[in-house]
């Protein structure tokens, strides 16, 4: 399936409103515009009360929304994986996506930097904006998008190259570091810039002290936890704004997991982090807000993490959190 075929259908994506209008966050006073607040209450004219989800609570967060999804649906062939997801993800915070296996968490996460475009069977319908800019617009630059919205996967996946080469892979690819022969031979600035990116990224990923004297060693010689922090450094090296993490600690031991959790909390001071986790304690420990998905790809509740874990609005969420199902 081509990228164009994966584009959301403009006619259904925005309930008939123009995408550009919808992306304009200043347009809230227009009574005909779709209300994309995390409350999930769709105020488009003509919608009946029955269609309003009665389990949502108003979620007032500090700061601005970095990522907004509106009526986001994904099908794999005939099967729906996520259903009408409309939320706002605040900047410089950690948002946890939790829910039982197969409820669509990873699918939702992958929509945020169009990774689902790579899956032939995936059909995406709806809107995702980053800083108000529609990422599913025609002609969107996917390389640039994935630089802005980076991703860290469940299994650490360093390249079989040196630690240094792993970190500078992205900046070289994006042209932030010149790679021509002359630049490499005579480019003092280039070398300095490369060193600077390597040190900054590895420090930000809390692994510099462990690798500073072996930057030219193969990354595959690192422990699993170190490899994952290296992958986070690789993601940070291209200056992302949003970092998507799909169960980044599930393959790690408790000590490595704890380092990743500390790191995620630190990263949220500068970046917008969205993390899928099966570990509810982890979600409760590190996230500012939590989205609870349940079977069928339905987002049942979204709000402040303390409120979700201590006093959920939805009985189904309470049952899930207290282990009655899932």
Beta carbon of residue 117, minimum distance to ligand ATP (angstroms, whole number): 12
State the number of binding residues for ligand ATP (CB under 6 A): 12
When asked if residue 102 is in the footprint of ligand ATP (CB under 6 A), the reply is: yes
- Bridge-partner residues for 244, per DSSP? 151, 274
Segment contacting ligand ATP (CB under 6 A): 14-22, 25-33, 102-110, 165-173? 102-110
Residue 72 sits at φ, ψ, to 5 deg, of -85, 120
99/292 Cα distance (integer angstroms): 6
Q: Is 277 in the site for ligand ATP (CB under 6 A)?
A: no
Q: Which of 105, 229, 234, 259 binds ligand ATP (CB under 6 A)?
A: 105
Q: Which of 99, 324, 6 is nearest to 85 (CA)?
A: 99
Report, in Å, the least distance between residue 276 CB and ligand ATP: 6
Nearer to ligand ATP, 4 or 101 (CB): 101
Q: How far is the CB of 213 from ligand ATP (least distance, A)?
A: 38
Q: Of the listed pieces 34-42, 98-106, 202-210, 317-325, which binds ligand ATP according to CB under 6 A?
A: 98-106
Measured from the CB atom, the residue of 106 and 257 that comes closer to ligand ATP is: 106
H or E element at residue 185 = helix 181-186
x-or-dash string of contact with ligand ATP, 68-87, rule CB under 6 A: --------x----x------
- Alpha carbon distance 236, 152 (integer Å): 10
- Rounded to the nearest whole angstrom, what is the least distance from the CB of residue 209 to ligand ATP in the complex? 33
**Residues 269, 202: contact at Cβ < 8 Å?**
no
Enter the tokens of residue 35.
Answer: 């209300």
| 36 to 75: interface string for ligand ATP, x by CB under 6 A | ----------------------------------------
Verify binding: residue 283, ligand ATP, rule CB under 6 A: no
Comparison of 153 and 169: residue with beta carbon closer to ligand ATP: 153
Member of 14, 36, 86, 107 binding ligand ATP (CB under 6 A): 107
**CA nearest neighbour of 106 among 78, 132, 76, 131:** 76
**Distance (Å, rounded) from C-alpha 81 to C-alpha 103?**
7
Tell me the C-alpha distance between 116 and 108, whole Å: 9
Distance CA 246, CA 228 (A): 12
By the rule CB under 6 A, 249 interacts with ligand ATP: no
Give the range of 28-36, 96-104, 254-262, 307-315 binding ligand ATP by CB under 6 A.
96-104
DSSP string, 106-172: HHHHHHTTTGGGGSTTEEEEEEEEETTEETTSTT--HHHHHHHEEEE-SS----SSBHHHHHHHHHH
Confirm or reject binding of residue 101 to ligand ATP (CB under 6 A).
yes
Identify the three-state secondary structure at position 27: helix
Q: How far is the CB of 147 from ligand ATP (least distance, A)?
A: 24
Write out the binding residues for ligand ATP, residues 119-138 only, by CB under 6 A. 119, 121
| CA separation, residue 322 to residues 105, 283, 284, 325, 326 (Å) | 19, 14, 13, 8, 10
* Residue 111 vs 177, nearer CB to ligand ATP: 111
Q: Using CB under 6 A as the criterion, which residues of the chain lie in contact with ligand ATP when the complex forms?
A: 76, 81, 99, 101-107, 119, 121
């Amino acid at each position: 399936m081509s990228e164009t075929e994966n584009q959301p259908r403009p006619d259904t994506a925005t309930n008939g409103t123009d995408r550009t209008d919808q992306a304009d966050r200043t347009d809230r006073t227009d009574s005909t515009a779709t209300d994309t607040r995390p409350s999930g209450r769709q105020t488009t004219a003509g919608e009946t009360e029955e269609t309003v989800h009665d389990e949502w609570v108003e979620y007032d967060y500090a700061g601005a929304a970095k990522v907004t999804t509106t009526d986001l649906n994904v099908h794999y062939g005939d099967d729906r994986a996520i259903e009408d997801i409309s939320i706002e993800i605040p900047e410089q915070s950690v948002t946890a996506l939790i829910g039982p296996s197969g409820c669509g968490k990873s699918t939702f996460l992958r929509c945020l930097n169009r990774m689902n475009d790579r899956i032939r069977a995936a059909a995406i319908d709806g809107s995702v904006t980053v800083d108000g800019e529609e990422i599913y617009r025609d002609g969107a630059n996917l390389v640039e998008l994935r630089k802005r919205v980076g991703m860290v996967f469940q299994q650490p996946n360093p390249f079989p190259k040196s630690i240094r080469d792993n970190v500078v892979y992205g900046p070289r690819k994006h042209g932030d570091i010149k790679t021509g022969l002359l630049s490499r031979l005579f480019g003092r600035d280039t070398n300095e810039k490369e060193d600077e990116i390597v040190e900054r990224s590895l420090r930000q990923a809390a692994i510099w002290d462990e690798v500073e004297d072996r930057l030219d060693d193969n990354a595959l010689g690192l422990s699993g936890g170190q490899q994952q922090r290296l992958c986070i450094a690789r993601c940070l090296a291209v200056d992302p704004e949003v970092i998507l993490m799909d169960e980044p600690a599930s393959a790690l031991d408790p000590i490595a997991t704890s380092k990743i959790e500390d790191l995620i909390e630190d990263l949220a001071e500068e970046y917008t982090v969205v993390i899928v986790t099966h570990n509810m304690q982890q979600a409760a420990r590190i996230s500012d807000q939590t989205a609870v998905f349940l079977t069928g790809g339905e987002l049942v509740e979204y709000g402040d993490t303390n409120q979700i874990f201590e006093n959920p609005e939805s009985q189904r969420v309470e049952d899930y959190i207290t282990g009655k199902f899932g």
